[in-house]
């Protein structure tokens, strides 16, 4: 799954990816992801910000490590 | 760290939390987090959406498991 998601988005931490992606490409990613995930136990959570101007990213500590918070 | 973050936000997956929080409470959380994290190796990444109307959350598969993507 990591390899798949990295084709579409930037890996930032553990199981977390970020990036700008079209609805078409997102749809493509999810179709591929569903083929390799177990939907009864795995999950993909997508937070969409409609406009990058309304989202802000703040990093405390080292850029690549293990905790993330979404407000 | 998990226990600390759970006092302020909702745990959704692995090291990922979400929720609405005031700047004051966020500041309080980060002060406490800095006391227990190793800033040279650990990191906290905060994605802030200024208005809940401009963010959308989509879940594929089971609600609580292991993958998340931020767009």
ipTM of the complex: 0.74
Residues paired with B43 in a beta bridge: A61
Q: Judge: A62–B39 Cβ closer than 8 Å, yes or no.
A: yes
pLDDT band at B61 (very low <50, low <70, confident <90, very high): confident
Minimal Cα–Cα distance from A18 to chain B, Å? 4
Q: Give the residue from A51, A57, A50, A61 showing the smallest Cα distance to A71.
A: A57
Per-domain boundaries in chain A: 2-54
The confidence score (pLDDT) of residue A9 equals 93
In what helix (H) or strand (E) does residue B71 lie, and over which residues does it extend? none
pLDDT of A10-64, one tens digit each?
A: 988 878 899 999 999 999 999 999 999 988 888 898 988 877 777 888 888 887 6
Please give the distance of CA A40 from its chain centroid, rounded to a whole number.
20
Has residue B68 got a pLDDT over 70? no
Q: Judge: A67–B56 Cβ closer than 8 Å, yes or no.
A: no
Going by the DSSP 8-state scheme, the letter that residue A29 receives in this structure is H
The confidence score (pLDDT) of residue B9 equals 93
Has residue B66 got a pLDDT over 70? no
């Amino acid at each position: 799954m990591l390899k798949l998601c990295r084709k579409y988005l930037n890996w930032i931490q553990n199981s977390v990816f970020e990036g700008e992606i079209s609805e078409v490409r997102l749809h493509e990613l999810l179709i591929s992801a569903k083929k390799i995930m177990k939907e009864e136990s795995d999950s993909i959570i997508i937070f969409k910000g409609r406009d990058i101007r309304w989202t802000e990213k703040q990093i405390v500590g080292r850029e690549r490590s293990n905790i993330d918070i979404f407000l």
